């Protein structure tokens, strides 16, 4: 008599999506009623001080346009990454070949990505954003054809564009913000709005990809063609609306001397470099390992329905950012960031301990993304406090280079040579986050005479 093994598929509770969406919406809508109005807010709107309506009319016009083009870039990024490992599998690549492609992309970002940050600082944010959109257009055009979807050049260009995504747009916005003479508290609002809109756009990119996905046998892939179209729109917008701005490297002397003085010799900025590298490495480790962790031991789960829950958690984390910064915040600014780092480190530590319950893993990954949504705008805020804007791209690309060096090593040793277990990679990421949390705590103790004295946040 044969034995029949029943396989039960784990499904996410339908209440998760409306609860997370309601929490994010409440965090945004209730903020004006629980935070004291600033002078800029009162001048802009006596009856309301929503972060969407604060600032002068030219600044509001610029920020709306910026969030529009930033959302387009986020959608394009999401379309290129939504397939993940399945994209390589459709091309007939095995585990070792996938690891080799990803490791090569990490190595390219390690060298070319670091150089792109320096070039961005020298040329200015407008030219950097134009170059970013040109890279996205090239990737979308190449991947639109089935035969070129998994080509080496496509993966390398895509990795380079993704490495430039954050510092290009962040630098552009900060430079324009200072050019218009806006208050620094408005800049903090813009940082969390960027993270919020990015998460929302990534959710939209999944829906767009599902609508446009077609049969590979047709030879033309609509999702990537749509991403190329978005790149054209973004490129035209930048060329038409973004003002040509000469960057300030010549004002402070040689770029190399300035970089050594403000980055390598400033322990506060080095702490931010380590903190940014740790969160970037943990995000990459999650992207590679979350699906194998959940479906370990042959378990069944609807991964396509779980991942949107993570993005909704990230939206909630970014929406909670303004509640923890300001005069009514329950903790000091760096203390809140320290707690977030420790929380996300503990969450990944439990996952690295090889926990098996799918529901618990999903909750831990949701906590991870909520903390990421809070950490990213917090780090952007600290960069504005301690780092000259003309060195922002080089500093961020340097921190990403450190993270990509670790990613390259673990991809080669873990996925290609299979010498390191997945739990070890997650454990390393958790340790990095905990160390970064301790460094952020030290940063508060070192903060006595900083750029905050002249640029109050």
Host domain of residue 92: 69-453
Residue 52 falls inside a structural domain: no
Residue 200 Cα to chain centre, angstroms: 12
Whether residue 89 lies inside any domain: the answer is: yes
Q: What is the CATH number of the domain that holds 406?
A: 1.20.1250.20
Q: Is residue 156 part of a domain?
A: yes
32's CB contacts (< 8 A; 6+ apart) are: 48, 49, 50
Top-confidence range, 82-91, 400-409, 418-427: 400-409
Is residue 34, in this structure, part of any structural domain at all? no
Q: Percent of the chain scored above 90 by pLDDT? A: 21
Number of folded domains that form the chain: 1
pLDDT digit string (tens) for 243-258? 665 554 444 458 788 8
Residue 47 lies in a domain: no
pLDDT number for residue 4: 44
Q: Is 321 exposed, middle or buried (0-12, 13-18, 19+ CB in 10 A)?
A: buried
- CA atoms of 90 and 105, how far apart (whole Å): 19
Model confidence over 33-77: pLDDT tens digits?
666 554 444 444 434 455 556 656 777 888 888 999 999 999 999
Residue 11 in domain: no
Under 8 Å between Cβ of 95 and 415? yes
Better pLDDT: 57 or 106: 106
The pLDDT tens digits of the residues spanning 175-187 come to: 888 887 666 667 8
Closest by CA position to 52, among listed 64, 66, 40: 64
DSSP assignment string, 92-103: T--HHHHHHHHH
242 domain residue, yes or no: yes
Long-range contacts, 61-67 (Cβ 8 Å, 24+)? 62/176, 62/180, 63/173, 63/190, 65/237, 65/241, 66/169, 66/172, 66/173, 66/176, 67/193, 67/194, 67/197
Q: What is the pLDDT of residues 447-456, one digit of tens each?
A: 644 444 444 4
151 belongs to a structural domain: yes
């Amino acid at each position: 008599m044969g034995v029949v093994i029943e396989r039960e598929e784990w499904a996410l509770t339908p209440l998760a999506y409306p609860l997370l969406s309601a929490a994010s919406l409440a965090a945004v809508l209730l903020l004006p009623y629980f935070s004291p109005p600033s002078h800029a807010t009162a001048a802009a709107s006596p009856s309301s001080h929503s972060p969407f309506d604060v600032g002068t009319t030219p600044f509001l016009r610029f920020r709306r346009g910026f969030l529009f083009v930033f959302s387009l870039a986020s959608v394009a990024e999401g379309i290129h990454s939504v397939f993940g490992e399945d994209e390589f599998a459709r091309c007939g690549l095995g585990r070792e070949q996938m690891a080799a492609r990803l490791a090569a992309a990490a190595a390219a970002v390690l060298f070319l990505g670091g150089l792109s940050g320096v070039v961005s600082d020298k040329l200015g944010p407008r030219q950097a954003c134009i170059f970013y959109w040109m890279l996205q257009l090239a990737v979308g055009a190449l991947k639109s054809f089935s035969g070129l979807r998994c080509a080496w050049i496509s993966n390398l260009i895509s990795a380079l564009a993704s490495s430039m995504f954050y510092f290009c747009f962040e630098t552009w916005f900060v430079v324009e913000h200072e050019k218009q003479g806006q208050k620094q508290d408005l800049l903090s609002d813009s940082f969390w709005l960027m993270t919020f809109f990015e998460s929302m756009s990534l959710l939209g990119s999944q829906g767009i990809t599902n609508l446009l996905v077609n049969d590979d046998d047709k030879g033309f892939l609509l999702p990537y063609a749509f991403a190329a179209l978005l790149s054209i729109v973004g490129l035209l917008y930048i060329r038409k609306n973004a003002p040509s701005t000469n960057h300030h490297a010549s004002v402070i002397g040689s770029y190399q001397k300035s970089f050594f003085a403000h980055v390598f010799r400033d322990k506060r900025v080095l702490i931010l470099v380590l903190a940014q590298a740790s969160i970037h490495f943990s995000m990459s480790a999650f992207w590679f390992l979350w699906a194998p962790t959940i479906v370990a031991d042959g378990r069944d789960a609807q991964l396509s329905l779980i991942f949107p829950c993570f993005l909704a958690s990230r939206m909630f984390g970014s929406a909670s950012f303004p509640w923890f910064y300001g005069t009514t915040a329950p903790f000091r600014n760096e203390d809140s960031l320290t707690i977030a780092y420790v929380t996300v480190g503990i969450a990944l530590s439990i996952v690295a301990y090889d926990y098996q319950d799918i529901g618990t893993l999903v909750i831990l990954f949701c906590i991870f993304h909520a903390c990421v949504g809070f950490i990213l705008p917090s780090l952007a805020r600290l960069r504005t406090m301690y780092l000259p804007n003309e060195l922002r791209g080089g500093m961020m690309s340097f921190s990403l280079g450190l993270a990509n060096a670790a990613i390259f090593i673990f991809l080669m040793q873990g996925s290609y040579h299979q010498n390191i277990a997945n739990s070890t990679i997650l454990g390393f990421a958790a340790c990095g986050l905990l160390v970064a949390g301790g460094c952020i705590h030290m940063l508060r103790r070192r903060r006595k005479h900083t750029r905050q004295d002249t640029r109050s946040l």
